[in-house]
Amino acid sequence: MKVLSTIAEITAYTAELKKAGKTIGLVPTMGALHEGHLTLMRAARAANDVVIASVFVNPIQFGPNEDYDKYPRMFEADCAKLESVNVDAVFHPDPAEMYPQGFCTYVNVDGDFTRKLCGASRPGHFRGVATVVTRLMNLSRADRAYFGQKDAQQVCVIKRFVNDLNIPVEVVMVPINREDSGLARSSRNAYLSDTEKQQALCLSRSLRKAEAAFAGGEKNVAALLKIVRDELAAEPAADVEYVELYDFPTLEPIETVEKESLMAMAVRIGKTRLIDNIIIG
């Protein structure tokens, strides 16, 4: 697997690939890779000639009081995992390479839907994501880019700017990968103690309850939200930031579930903020 650290290196690499007519799949990550990321890599592997992963903890998508400094970094272990699923190259730049002196151009998706759910408590987060993902798409010259459903609002934002800016990349959303317990895989699960991991099961448990109620015929949004909120309230360690149910992918408010809709939540367990979701309908 090639390790590319500079913009010059990735640009030269992808220019050669394009000259040779290869299709390229991009999987952007912030590292601390788990099985969920590897599912994205496998999806990219199955549909493209070449797979490029990026491992970059993007400073501009973290707020001043968030976990940028303590975000887990383990590049060697990440490389071993990427090699195990036959990734061809990893782009792993320094922050100074991506944001040199004078950098001042941002991609800002300005729809109301960016200000709800995680956008409400993380101002500037999606601007940081959209800016880095645009640049990774440009640098990798990807035909397809892969993102996990766990960050469903991120997928909505990415699909929006790819469409609005006519970026010729197919955005592929891959379903959430869960531990046997139901816990959605996340690099931030590394912050949880064993007790907290047990407490965190209330997220997926509450979503499963709503899913079962929907399968049983309940389509009313208020009723479905109540089922989830009641289940979360039964776990004293759960500090709920939001639970919402919106149309997917517009994130417009709805009263009944008539088509694909996103039930999404952010919940703090101890000091760790976790997100989870399901798509129903």
**Residue of 34, 37, 92, 125 marked catalytic:** 37
Binding span for ligand PAF by CB under 6 A among 26-34, 69-77, 220-228, 267-275: 26-34
**How would you classify residue 26: left for phi > 0, otherwise alpha for psi between -120 and 50, otherwise beta?**
beta
Stretches 23-31, 112-120, 199-207, 254-262: which one binds ligand PAF (CB under 6 A)? Answer: 23-31
Q: Per-residue x/- marks for ligand PAF, 46-85, CB under 6 A?
A: ------------x--x------------------------
Q: Report the alpha-carbon distance of residue 271 to residue 196 in Å, rounded.
A: 10
Q: Select the residue interacting with ligand PAF from 24, 26, 30, 85 (CB under 6 A).
A: 30
Q: Does 133 bind ligand PAF (CB under 6 A)?
A: yes
159 CB burial (10 A radius; 0-12, 13-18, 19+): middle
Environment class of residue 126 by beta-carbon count within 10 Å: exposed (0-12), middle (13-18) or buried (19+)? buried
Number of residues that bind ligand PAF (CB under 6 A): 10
Q: Does the active-site annotation cover 34?
A: no
Q: Which stretch binds ligand PAF (CB under 6 A): 22-30, 105-113, 193-201, 245-253?
A: 22-30
Residue with tokens 């990427």: 82
In the complex, least distance from residue 129 CB atom to ligand PAF, rounded to whole angstroms: 5
Pick the binder of ligand PAF from 14, 29, 149, 206 (CB under 6 A): 29
Token pair, residue 241, equals: 């930031």
| Beta carbons within 8 Å of 116's beta carbon, 6+ residues apart | 153, 244, 246, 251
- Residue 64 CA to chain centroid, in angstroms? 20
User: Residue 95 or residue 253: which is nearer to ligand PAF going by CB?
Assistant: 95
The first and second tokens of residue 69, run together, are 């400094």
Q: Which residues make Cβ contacts (< 8 Å) with residue 6, sequence separation at least 6? A: 93, 97
Report the nearest approach of ligand PAF to the CB of residue 210 (Å): 24
Task: Provide the annotated active-site residues.
Answer: 37
The site for ligand PAF (CB under 6 A) is made up of 28-30, 58, 61, 129, 132-133, 151, 154
